[in-house]
Chain A
Amino acid sequence: MVNSAISRRFATTLIAGALAGASLLMSTHAFAQQPIKLGLLEDQSGNFAIAVIPKIFAYQLAVDEINAKGGVLGRKLQIIHYDTQSDNTRFQEFARRLTQQDKVDVIFGAFSSASREAIRPIMDRAKQLYFYNNQYEGGVCDSNVFVTGAVPEQQFSTLIPWMMEKYGKKVYTIAADYNFGQISAEWVRNIVKEKGGTMVGEEFIPLSVSQFSQTIQNIQKAKPDVLVTLLVGANQASFYEQQASANLNIPMASSVNVGQAYEHKRFKPPALKDMYVTANYVEEVVSPASDDFKKRFRAKFPQVEYINQEAANAYDAIYLYKAGVEKAGSVDQEKVKAALGSGGICTDGPSGKVCIDPKSHHTSHRIYLIHVKADHSVDIPKVWDDIQPYWLGSVGCDLSKKPDQSQYTPSNLPKK
């Protein structure tokens, strides 16, 4: 009799617990009809926080500015942000939450390509409008996705020929050993060959590696004129200090450093001496648009450590969305997607005019060549205006005519 009393209590507790659990899981019906809901999936903590925190500020800045001027179509913009903690599974969980529970009108987010690819299936399944605002390896041809980040044809087709002309034709690449690094290295290889240069070496380095003595020796043995560094993450960033202490002294070219995680501010000089980077924006750009942007940014967020290119992209993305909604006359996602992809959707951002290309859903960019000097100050020897994201269109991706949901690479082209 004792046992059954206990068991009955336990059973009651268990049932009560289960019901409580169920009620906790029940959704809170989103009642707010008035504001336009912008879902944000960005890493506020974890490995990628360095480059992403300025982005989060930038989104907020744009939203506050737009709301101060009356919002979009008379409605205010509201950000719903979940910290994805640089964790792919969080991206998946929160993408579901944003699409199914919060039912947002648009999603902005993801830093690493892996996190973007983790949520793209979810976006596609829900036909969710999604902006990816990071530079990456290129190739996403997806009807639901719009990309404000720079792509290889914008960054490498400018950088590599310039470096080869200035320093010589022998090129050595060290790249992070995953999709972004491998595809970017492929782009570099193709451009070097096209311009009559030689690849004297190519090294792929797993993301967990933080000690580079052997790599440095390999580079010295190959004696390149230009060292292309496509290193990602804090572990790999240690390369710069280590190569400086070994006095490697070879000019470096990158599409990924300086413009995102502002290594030139975090490393002691002269670790990044003679580093050349192509980015669509950095804080050091001097222009009326840039200066005004920086002033407003720092007024609102004085704690920001560096206003990087992703922050500019994030800012532009919000304004591009606004332009799309205004052209469509509604927030209905199919209509906005059609409007955004119809051509002529542009915004005047910190780096100048940025427009969406209807074929690829990517944006044109002004590309700055950033040169880091021995004391880590920066000069900008060259600027390329209005570089189009031409590659996807040239290989057969045309979202204005044919819907698609894929990512292509130079060795994985669309089937004709």
Chain B
Amino acid sequence: MTFLVQAYAFLYQFADSFAFLVLCGLGLAIIFGMMGVINLAHGEFIMCGAYVTVLTARAGLPLPFAMLAGTLAAGLVGLILEFLIIRRLYHRLFDSIVATWALSLIATQGMLIVAGPSIEGLKTPFGSFELGEYSFSVYRALLPLVALSLLAALYWLFVRTRFGRYSRATIEDADMARALGANTSRIYSQTFGLGAALAGLTGALYAPTMTAVPTMGQAFIVQSFVTVVVSGADVMLGLAPSAAVLAFIQSLLTKSYGQLIGQIGLLLTVIIVVRVLPKGISGWVLQRNAGH
């Protein structure tokens, strides 16, 4: 019995890390993984989603609707920023570093000025359940399922829908797509907005589990980038395996040696994986399949 409990405890921990990495990486996977925009303001989209969720929930909106509001707010902000700023940078992607860094400064400081250094947070919904000597948060146990569903939904979106196909075509070869009749600027806009909305959703989902401060984006940004880069060129294919590998190693190390080794281990794993698979996980998979 205790073996099952311990096994579940580890599985829970792994799933928790996995969910965190997937959700961190989702929005960035689209904006950076697919579109190539190095979005250093990714954490701030997450913060935006979290803040809007908290504020609307405290104003009385039921939590699921508050989360939806957070997601939509981030998506809207993404659309506006794409229109004003990002679309001028598609042909010079390195400059998106400076632009998004600047946006991140403005967003963080602006939020501090507008909303103060912190706002009262939310309670994590659903309570807890017990298993052996442990008790777990129900909500956090559900997050991995949410992460997986989102991955599946995105896969469906990008592979099976017209929008998805147009989007991938435009990103791959904008001139050809335009020649074939696609409204490329609208597609870029919508894809970016989608990425921003997903980041907002991450913020919304984690808002009831964390403190809401203007700098909360910093808790996500590093994990986002490493997960997305390790997943390789085809993010839809690579994100889940990337998150799984990194989460597994991080959980194992944290459990055995503590949080410090877990954090360092995560970063070292990234270095080693990139060295061993220089095109990321999906690059390696595609290369293997191409050989057959």
Contact across chains for B263 and A209 when beta carbons are under 8 A apart: yes
Q: Which of these binds chain A: B85-93, B134-142, B147-155, B173-181? A: B134-142
Contacts of A237 in B (CB 8 A): 211
Chain A, residue nearest B116 (CB)? A305
Interface size classification for chain B? 35 or more
Contact across chains for A242 and B121 when beta carbons are under 8 A apart: no
Contact across chains for A208 and B263 when beta carbons are under 8 A apart: yes
Q: Which of these binds chain A: B29-37, B188-196, B197-205, B252-260? A: B252-260
A310 to chain B, nearest CB (A): 13
Contact across chains for B211 and A241 when beta carbons are under 8 A apart: yes
Q: How far is the CA of A235 from the CA of B16 in the complex (A)?
A: 17
Contact across chains for B255 and A208 when beta carbons are under 8 A apart: no
Partner of B140, one of A204, A210, A213, A220: A213
Flag whether A203 is at the interface (Cβ < 8 A). Answer: yes
Q: How far is the CA of A209 from the CA of B222 in the complex (A)?
A: 11
Contact across chains for B16 and A211 when beta carbons are under 8 A apart: yes
Q: How far is the CA of A104 from the CA of B209 in the complex (A)?
A: 45
Contacts of A247 in B (CB 8 A): 127-128, 130, 135, 137
A82 to chain B, nearest CB (A): 16
Contacts of B139 in A (CB 8 A): 245
Task: Decide: A203 near B123, CB < 8 A? Known: A53-B117, A246-B136.
Answer: no
Contact across chains for B259 and A215 when beta carbons are under 8 A apart: yes
Task: Decide: A49 near B140, CB < 8 A? Known: A214-B255, A214-B259.
Answer: no
Q: Which of these binds chain B: A17-25, A143-151, A187-195, A265-273? A: A265-273
A199 to chain B, nearest CB (A): 15
Chain A, residue nearest B120 (CB)? A266
Flag whether B218 is at the interface (Cβ < 8 A). Answer: yes
Partner of A210, one of B9, B13, B219: B219
Flag whether A47 is at the interface (Cβ < 8 A). Answer: yes
Chain B, residue nearest A86 (CB)? B215
B7 to chain A, nearest CB (A): 12
- By a beta-carbon cutoff of 8 Å, the part of chain B in contact with chain A is 9, 12-13, 16-17, 20, 109, 112, 116-124, 127-128, 130, 133-137, 139-140, 208-211, 213, 215-216, 218-219, 222, 251, 254-255, 258-260, 262-263
Extra pairs beyond A46-B215, A238-B209, A245-B140 (13, CB < 8 Å): A47-B215, A204-B260, A213-B140, A217-B12, A217-B13, A220-B133, A234-B118, A234-B213, A245-B127, A247-B130, A261-B118, A266-B121, A267-B121
Q: Which 10 A-B residue pairs are closest in the complex by CB-CB distance?
A: A245-B124, A247-B128, A245-B137, A50-B117, A210-B219, A238-B210, A268-B123, A234-B213, A49-B117, A213-B16
In the complex, 19 of the A-B residue pairs with CB atoms within 8 angstroms, ordered by the A residue number, are A47-B215, A50-B117, A53-B117, A177-B260, A205-B260, A208-B222, A208-B263, A213-B16, A213-B140, A217-B9, A217-B12, A223-B133, A237-B211, A245-B124, A245-B128, A245-B209, A266-B211, A271-B123, A305-B117
